[in-house]
Structure 1
């Protein structure tokens, strides 16, 4: 994982050195990796600086620029550093005075401005601390969508004055502008190119579903050796189907039995997700824990919904879906927070194109971008469905057509004909015994959840706690995800939780 911070003075010679000092002190709070694993680099220009921290091998700053994420072909580094966002890979770009996101925003850029400085970075908290001189000031109203959905449905962040740069945008001197996407190429060719630069044997998490199977077909077509891994019991349909796929492609297949589920300590879980995802992903989500960085490339089916229509998949009523996103659980909010939510909803029309855009901009560009930090800090994760050229090619296909899932089926048959007739989906076989469903401990009420939520005066500024209280009692939580969203926001808003001494 690489962390970048760009600082540019509005008037040369003012504030840059002081901001750099704050950044050096603050990085421990903003980079969710032990300090002993991190190296640091700096690039200086008159009135500007680019700072980088990484736990990956190799330099972080090259050609006076930083590429956050990865390139499908490492030989493209000079072109990427020169500002080309149309290359293969999933990345964002930083220089001393500018930053840019890819077409999904999955590798994020955050920005803030002070009377003296423009500040851009890949970690929202670091940008905020540098802009404020080390103080943490939250934006409670911005957190209303975190309460309702568990991620952001706007360019806001938890931190006052810090915004996320939208996908496909470049920012210079505080001015953000969209740049044109590259001309789309053939989608199958783009998929193959997205993995062709992989060196060594890759590791693919393979299930019985479409997305990871398309990745397997892509690796097969590109001639990349890989090992398939499936988590589950031997009679699990995911395992059975994945084994069949591996045999058809003649690759090794490893089955890893599920570990006994042990409840996490609630406070520890929330704190770790907040540290990793900066308050932009709910602690209800299972965020990958930190392990030392491994350079072996790993892949999975993350992001495949882009090729299957995103929010359009299975959607029969566009207005209802739009309202569920922006206005769901509105009754739990205070009047001011509810009005803020309505204001964000007003600009969107219930069309297929809108839902397609919202999925890419917010589900990928905000939710996945925040959660992805857990994976990035521990290893090289190749994500073909987020590859810039793949996304550009996919967006050239009508979203309604993608939502039929015929596009994915056709790609699998084209890239790996041997898989064309292998069935899909992880459902129990009709003749098998009913599966014993493992209880989800996250749906169990607990004193830690109750005290975190009901004891939060800060949360009461945006949430009506009297309406939340009934959700916290009973043998099982009626809306466990919502309760964990609330606990996440309540913990985030605790005074001085992440403050850094100036």
Structure 2
């Protein structure tokens, strides 16, 4: 794919070097803890970090490790856990154990429950380790990139420190998908650390240790169900032993119900649970019924506080969210969530995130083994991936838009081809190694300093078993339904929100294919309608928050007048937004906010 070149004289500008972005992004209030490691003779390190009092810099041989908001696990050397989740499925892991592993066997830490990461500085350089899913986001300069190498918790800081230009393919993917694929970031020469990987920085540059992924032997449903049931029971009991005040994020869906089912009945009464949603919605109704049935202490929280925000405060929230997301996921969605979260206690959360990988998230049609082509991947991207968070077509420069769609399609096809030659296994990996890692993991990372989110179904055993099941065993939620009936048949006979009871899917009868086909047709029908109407699905609270952000831009049109948008966005579209003739989608507001943050650190 040939890099896109704008047809005008405008060229990709080098992001301006701020006096001290830490004073804004990593100040004492709402700080996002992190680090940046580069050669100690690099002037950009000091220019980017400034002289903020919260930054501690340690010499590590020829490298400097600058950190903020972190406390070393040992007095011997700077060793930091980069996540508040530090546990296996059997219990919490001590800071001393983490520090010892970073000295002697960093690879041992990759088995900890995602999200987890750690970094250590020593005379030999700086080493950072990712979890098995790469869920806790870490970044490094590409080993073959020119310029001084860097490691960081922030792609933005690493990009600014290296004066990196935007990656046009990454911008194209994000304009259609809303998040990134593979290990790309918005900056050329800056990559995300791969799952299960270790990076080391010293005077010789960046060295990466990325183990090869080996295909494990297939497992049957009869073998898988009791193994996973035992694992979840052990994990949930250990979690409640360590954190008795933990809160279950309860919805009307299947995954949180599985977690509730893994908790012994005697421990359910008095268990804290919360549901985020509009009172009276399907999710809230089902969750409330379950809570009443088992004596849970249930709270429901909504997004009503958005109405009280000023346009200036709305932009401030979205801008800070874009910073925390490193410009690579939806800051409107995160800002709306942050606003809702501010109304209730933070602490340890039990999340069902992860169950999707065990039910074939991208499966459509009859599930039988088959190969695929670039066209199949392109069709999946158009109908299932680009429909939800893409910007409106008129926003993008026409030449960039045409080039960008081809580039994004090629990216989807490439990551699927690299995952497997078989279609359904490739779509499983697309969900697990890309959507989960780069969207869900990034969102978890953005809030890790505020609350501890524990996802029992992200442990290696669960993911390994899910990947070893035949696609036909996962399709139509058969595996998860069988698991539900193994854990708690009573809960398995209660309908899910908008769907039937899991019991019906556990042992399907002769009408299964007809019912499944009807469900698939209904989902495709919704996607067809969505494409015809040229609308996408906004996050909860997205429309009112995006509207307030646009009001702020209209009050401060200089925010959208930068030449740094010219390579990608039509000037006429910007003019229409500022004049009030265009009301952009929340997805378009999110995309613009990310571009502004990546290229204009000092926008207010």
CA distance in 2, matches of 1:236, 1:313: 27
CA distance in 1, matches of 2:317, 2:304: 18
| Of 91, 104, 109, the match for 2:133 | 104
Q: 1:390 to 1:449 in 2, by over 3 A?
A: farther
8 Å Cα contact 1:91-1:102 kept in structure 2: yes
CA distance in 1, matches of 2:92, 2:293: 31
CA distance in 1, matches of 2:571, 2:366: 32
| Of 240, 255, 258, the match for 1:214 | 258
Q: Deviations over 1:92-131 (max 9, x none)?
A: 23233332322322111200167785422222223334x4
Q: 1:98 to 1:400 in 2, by over 3 A?
A: farther
CA distance in 2, matches of 1:4, 1:261: 29
8 Å Cα contact 2:381-2:409 kept in structure 1: no
8 Å Cα contact 2:180-2:438 kept in structure 1: yes
Q: Are 1:375 and 2:375 matched, yes or no?
A: no
- Written as runs of structure 1 = structure 2, the 5 A alignment for 1:17-416 is 21=46, 25=50, 45-48=60-63, 50-54=65-69, 59-60=72-73, 65-69=79-83, 70-72=85-87, 73-75=91-93, 78=97, 81=102, 82-83=105-106, 84=108, 85-96=110-121, 97-112=126-141, 118-129=149-160, 131-132=161-162, 137-172=165-200, 174-179=206-211, 186-195=227-236, 196-197=238-239, 198-220=242-264, 226-232=271-277, 235-256=280-301, 259=304, 261-262=306-307, 264=309, 265=311, 267-287=315-335, 288-289=337-338, 296-312=347-363, 319-323=378-382, 325=385, 332=396, 335=399, 337-338=403-404, 340-347=407-414, 348-349=416-417, 351-416=423-488
Structure-1 residue corresponding to 2:589: 484
Q: 1:158 to 1:355 in 2, by over 3 A?
A: same
Q: 1:3 to 1:63 in 2, by over 3 A?
A: farther
1:164 is displaced (CA, Å) by 0.8
8 Å Cα contact 2:246-2:272 kept in structure 1: yes
Secondary structure (helix, strand or coil) at the match of 1:497 reads coil
Q: TM-score, normalised by structure 1?
A: 0.76
8 Å Cα contact 1:90-1:388 kept in structure 2: no
CA distance in 1, matches of 2:586, 2:366: 21
Give the CA RMSD over aligned residues: 4.4
1:341 is displaced (CA, Å) by 3.2
Q: 1:229 to 1:63 in 2, by over 3 A?
A: farther
Secondary structure (helix, strand or coil) at the match of 2:433 reads helix
Q: 1:441 to 1:234 in 2, by over 3 A?
A: closer
Q: Deviations over 1:137-156 (max 9, x none)?
A: 54454322222222112422
Q: Deviations over 1:346-394 (max 9, x none)?
A: 5244822222212222212112232223431212221223334432332
| Of 555, 567, 581, the match for 1:461 | 567
8 Å Cα contact 1:273-1:281 kept in structure 2: no
Structure 1 portions without partners, runs of 5+? 29-34, 429-436
Q: 1:260 to 1:495 in 2, by over 3 A?
A: closer
Structure index of larger Rg: 2
Q: Are 1:15 and 2:41 matched, yes or no?
A: yes
Structure 2 portions without partners, runs of 5+? 1-30, 218-223, 368-375, 501-539
Instruction: Tell which deviates more after alignment, 199-208 or 258-267.
Output: 258-267
Q: 1:121 to 1:187 in 2, by over 3 A?
A: farther
Secondary structure (helix, strand or coil) at the match of 1:285 reads helix
Query: Which has a greater percent of helix?
Result: 2
Q: 1:231 to 1:345 in 2, by over 3 A?
A: closer
Q: Deviations over 1:185-231 (max 9, x none)?
A: 93233334444243222111212111221222234489587312234
1:262 is displaced (CA, Å) by 1.3
| Of 529, 541, 544, the match for 1:441 | 544
CA distance in 1, matches of 2:579, 2:362: 32
8 Å Cα contact 2:331-2:593 kept in structure 1: yes
CA distance in 1, matches of 2:230, 2:209: 30
Q: 1:60 to 1:495 in 2, by over 3 A?
A: same
